[in-house]
Amino acid sequence: MPELPEVEIFKRRLDPTALGRRISGIAVRDKRIVGGASPAGLMARLKGARLAASRRHGKYLPIDIGEAGWFAMHFGMNGSLQHFRAEDDDPPYDRLRFDLGRDHHLAYLNPRRLGRMELVTDAEAFVRREGLGADALYPALGPAEFARRVAARKREIKSVLMDQTVVAGIGNIYSDEILFQAGLHPRLRANRLDRPALARLFAKMQAVLRTAIRRGAGSEQMLDRLPRGFLLPQRKKGGRCPRCKGAIAMLKFSGRSAYCCPRCQPSPR
């Protein structure tokens, strides 16, 4: 699930329910998820810390826990956060459980264990260390800066959009929607895009991400709530283009797939 819109939704659920609370305990259910850090050591650092704020950057969600530093979460391919009340209701695939007082628990779920959590000194240092580019929705990222960074790459535009060091937050799913909305074929080379294409790409990137957040990214019903003209509900084999009704194509992109409309997104060459 988690690309920028899904992580933003996690944050919006977390902030009102968890901020201001103290960590009364943690249960490390899988050490791999915290890079093998010792549960006892983590407990010593985290216990009693107050969740003060959260800052999303791209697909990462660092949480300010005061003196103890920041706890940075990444959700991998299918991680998520879930609140629950009774400890017995510990959901499946819970890898780390935060206890935030009696009958208030926060679970970091991750079936595939691709994803991690880490105690860091602060959010900015973390973002720098990871080499992340500007957040795709952060207001300070303007169209000119975006165009400059994208056009500096020679790779295929889909892969550039998903490169977290160029812009942070976009993954395989939303890159398909953004390219579809912008009318650009995923295999176009980034450095060959002209000005109007780059401007379109920027505008559609922000519009798609904002729309996904508004329509409840990650929920079962999001696909039904998306505006007409969105590719995502048709992003599957046998899908039809919402614009021209033609067949949606699936391309292989080094091990993963890209869905696009061959007519609305003319192929390069």
Partner DNA sequence: CGTTATGTTCGATG
Partner DNA sequence: GCATCGAACATAAC
Active-site residue list: 2-3, 59, 256
The tokens of 92 are what? 């499946």
* 72 bridge partner residues: 62, 118
To the nearest whole angstrom, how small is the minimum distance from the Cβ of residue 47 to DNA?
A: 27
Nearer to DNA, 171 or 242 (CB): 171
Residues 74-93 that bind DNA (CB under 7 A): 74, 76-78, 93
CA atoms within 13 A on the CB side of 258: 26
> What type of residue sits at position 136?
A
Indicate whether 11 belongs to the interface with DNA (CB under 7 A): no
The helix or strand, by DSSP H or E, that contains position 15, with its residue range, turns out to be helix 4-18
Instruction: Fill in the per-residue mask, 104 to 123: x = in contact with DNA (CB under 7 A), - = not in contact.
Output: -------xxxx---------
In the complex with DNA, the residue whose CB is nearer, 67 or 221, is 221
Residue 67 or 92 with smaller CB distance to DNA: 92
* Cα(134)–Cα(145) distance, integer angstroms: 10
94 makes contact with DNA (CB under 7 A):
no
H helix or E strand, kind and range, residue 129: helix 123-130
Closest to 253 measured CA to CA, from 167, 163, 139, 183: 163
> Running DSSP on this structure, what letter comes out for residue 33?
G
257 is an interface residue for DNA by CB under 7 A: yes
In the complex, the smallest distance separating the C-beta of residue 22 from DNA, rounded to whole angstroms, is: 30
Instruction: Give the interface with DNA as residue ranges (CB under 7 A).
Output: 1-3, 6, 58-59, 74, 76-78, 93, 111-114, 130, 153-156, 159, 162, 164, 171-173, 218, 250, 254-257
